[in-house]
Amino acid sequence: MERVVITGAVRTPIGKYIGGLRDIPGYELGVLVLNQAVKKAGIEPEQVDEVIMGQSYQNGESVNIARVSLLAAGWPVDIPGLTIDRRCCSGLDAICLGAMKIMSGQADIVVAGGIETMSRTEFYIPGEFVKWGMGGVRDPKWGLMPRGHGALPMWGLPFFDRIQRARVMSQPVERFGELNSMMSWAETAATTEGITREAADQWACLSHQKALKAIDAGKFTEEIVPVVVPQRKGPPLVIDTDEPPRRNTDMEGLSRLRPVYENGICTAGNSSTENDGAGVVVLLSESKAETLGVDPLACLAGFSVAASDPTLTYPAVPKSVDKALGNAGLDIDEMDLIEIQEAFAAQVLADAKLMGLSGADLENKVNVNGSGISLGHPIAATGTMRMVSLLYEMKRRNARYGLETICGGGGHGIAAVVERR
């Protein structure tokens, strides 16, 4: 079976919620990373067999964002595009799915990644409340609206924020009850695994410190594609740096924040943020890379997805790690760098405990340049973005093995092991 190598890894800067990237449609972020990725890889778009993207908050303005992005990028119309949703796991899962296409002989080159513009996520009215009485008319602007379709300039109906509603509906309420946020299972993790508020705040503070240190050292420069944002007046705004990290973050400020839940430990300060951004990598079969003379950043040594009770979720992370390491024939102690996506500090520390990581591992190997609490968490893009940063850090350190793992709504965990030769 063909080994899969990774190259052309790029990402946009991460935008704050309703921040600098809010006016940029998701597919335009896709255009930027797609074109830069193939350029970095030294290949032409027409050599790509397929584009696979994760997006958890798809909307009616850019359906199947993988296909829309590649078309907007001017790529050949005969390149297929596929969009997937495994919540927070999506960006990494797109990479794994692309790898499986290559491993099974269905493709030689796949561009895979994730896009999320949470600032532009829709508000919506559930169809069952409006469709039955709508349509069957010809609108002077929009033309014929078949029954069950149309526009509804009305109020007094359920009007949901897709972001918040998705958290509630990531599992059937009839079976598991209503989770009004992912934070509810992070609190369970804290209680079950003995994670204290102080430990969570310390991790959050360190996350910001590491992210800002990396930014100031220019570590992310090579991997970031700047985004040019037109302005109504004056020259365009060029965003080339991650927006979320806060320079004034300290333990005193974090300790003053009230927990979201009574008697809980999770606060806005030790939890990830909602963000915008995109990232992709180019995947090739090893033989194709050799034929084209492509210099890989790393190869995929193993990957796996696991699941658990969606009211807990966090145990799915160590389960996925064990499976991915088993596929790679490696042990956790052999990992030189580890990315554990920071949905919540409590979740990271609980997962690290279940993974058997030591204090030294947490200090020297895990999230060395920050993660979701500091850099942000553009849901379906995060898995790819963390992989991009991991690959470049491995290159800087001449590290051999890297591990990335993420938890996802609905009780999922995903992990991938990469190897540099």
Catalytic residue among 96, 205, 299, 377: 377
Is 149 part of the annotated catalytic residue set?
no
Of the residues 88, 96, 266, 299, which is catalytic? 88
Find how far residue 414's CA is from the centre of its chain: 12
CA atoms within 13 A on the CB side of 57: 27
Query: Could you say which of 96, 266, 299, 407 is catalytic?
Result: 407
Q: And the tokens for 155?
A: 């109020």
Q: Is residue 324 within 8 Å of residue 251, measured between CB atoms?
A: no
The yes-or-no answer on residue 407 being catalytic is yes
Q: Is 373 helix (H, G, I), strand (E, B) or coil?
A: coil
Q: Are 314 and 19 in contact (CB under 8 A)?
A: no
Strand extents, DSSP E, 20-108: 50-54, 81-84
CA distances from 243 to 121, 226, 275 (A): 19, 12, 9
CA 169 – CA 172 distance, rounded (Å) = 6
Residue 390 class from Cβ within 10 Å (0-12 exposed, 13-18 middle, 19+ buried)? Answer: buried
205 is catalytic: no
Q: 166-202 as b/e, with b when 16 or more CB fall inside 10 Å?
A: bbeebbeeeeeeebebbbbbbbbbbeebebebebbbb
Complete DSSP assignment for 42-79? T--GGG--EEEEE-SS--TTSSSHHHHHHHHTT--TTS
- Tell me how many helices (H) and strands (E) the chain has: 13, 16
Q: Which of 133, 154, 114 is nearest to 281 (CA)?
A: 114
DSSP state of 45: G
Token pair recorded at residue 256:
């003053």
Cβ atoms of 310 and 411 within 8 Å: the answer is yes
DSSP-derived pairing of the beta strands 275-285 and 109-117: antiparallel
Helix axes 90-103, 379-397, angle to 10 degrees: 70
Rounded to the nearest 10°, the torsion over CA 363, 369, 373, 374 is 130
Give the residue numbers marked as catalytic.
88, 377, 407
